[in-house]
């Protein structure tokens, strides 16, 4: 499988992994950090060769900063399983589609977007944030999202002013404020065909960590509410079974 991860890389991934049991096997990571810890968490201690084969993981990490990507490539101990590329996910997804095609997938089984939303939001405005979420939803079966709270925005703006620089271009005109994670969840559910299946609480940095997955086709209007609810519960159960199989 293939996994994509987007991670600003400022804080240890282990803090986030503690909130999870394990993860699916095709993953993409937008990351300034090498991502090796996450990969090792996915494949740790297989009990048998059969289980080891079942845990075959392909991890793709990408970031705007080419210097960080080069550093990650140079220190990558698992070239066959982990790939790093410079990429702006809000502007170009062709390379992601090429990677998926190479591994025989139409979507990443899991995409991680960790502590990145604020920077896209501040530099590209509300439309940039929503585009990021839409793009990730379009290439992901499951999306693990960690959105910075509004207090992080204010802190980032203060740090910029202390350096004698102008505010972020969009900071004062942003309409998406307050509980940014809730705004993100609402956009994913209303506009992107995804639904929240688990909220893992907050990290040590008070950032909400939530898991969404692509929604199965809605039940027919002729179906009763009881049947629709039952099918929804069955879909959630299958998603948890999928995650548990990959993490165990």
In CATH, what number is assigned to the domain containing residue 12?
A: 3.40.50.150
Question: Token pair of 214, please?
Answer: 């692509």
Range of the domain at 65: 2-247
Strand 58-63 to strand 110-114: parallel, antiparallel, or no bridges (unpaired)? unpaired
**Whole-angstrom Cα distance, residue 66 to residue 195?**
33
Cβ atoms within 10 Å, residue 106: 9
Decide if 28 contacts 5 (C-beta within 8 A).
yes
Distance CA 149, CA 117 (A): 10
The more confident residue out of 93 and 243 is: 93
pTM for this one?
0.74
Contact 172, 154 (CB under 8 A): no
pLDDT exceeding 90 applies to what percent of the chain? 50
Q: Is the dihedral of CA 123, 125, 130, 131 positive or negative?
A: negative
Q: How does DSSP assign 85-119, residue by residue?
A: EE--TTT--HHHHHHHHHTT-SSBSEEEEES-HHH
pLDDT by residue (tens digit) across 5-26?
555 444 444 454 454 444 445 5
Q: Which residue has the tokens 């548990």?
A: 244
| Total count of domains within the chain | 1
pLDDT tens for 90-136 read 887 899 999 999 999 999 999 999 999 999 999 999 999 999 999 99
Q: What does the alpha-carbon distance between residue 96 and residue 142 come to, in Å, rounded to a whole number?
A: 16
């Amino acid at each position: 499988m293939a996994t994509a991860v987007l991670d600003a890389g400022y804080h240890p991934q282990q803090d986030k992994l503690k909130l999870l049991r394990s993860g699916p096997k095709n993953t993409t990571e937008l990351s300034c950090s090498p991502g090796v810890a996450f990969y090792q968490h996915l494949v740790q201690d297989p009990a048998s060769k059969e289980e080891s084969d079942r845990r075959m993981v392909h991890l793709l990490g990408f970031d705007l900063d080419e210097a960080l990507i080069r550093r990650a490539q140079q220190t990558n101990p698992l070239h066959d399983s982990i790939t790093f590329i410079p990429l702006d996910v809000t502007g170009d997804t062709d390379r992601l589609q090429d990677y998926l095609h190479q591994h025989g997938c139409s979507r990443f089984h899991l995409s991680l977007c960790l502590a990145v939303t604020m920077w896209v939001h501040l530099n590209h405005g509300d439309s940039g944030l929503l585009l990021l979420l839409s793009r990730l939803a379009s290439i992901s079966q499951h999306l693990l999202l960690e959105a910075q709270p509004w207090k992080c925005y204010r802190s980032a703006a203060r740090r910029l002013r202390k350096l004698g620089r102008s505010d972020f271009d969009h900071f004062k005109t942003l309409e998406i404020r307050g509980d940014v994670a809730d705004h993100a969840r609402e956009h994913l559910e209303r506009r992107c065909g995804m639904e929240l299946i688990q909220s893992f609480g907050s990290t040590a940095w008070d950032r909400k960590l939530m898991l969404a997955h692509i929604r199965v086709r809605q039940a027919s209007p002729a179906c009763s509410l009881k049947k629709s609810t039952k099918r929804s519960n069955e879909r959630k159960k299958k998603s948890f079974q999928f995650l548990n199989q990959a993490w165990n």
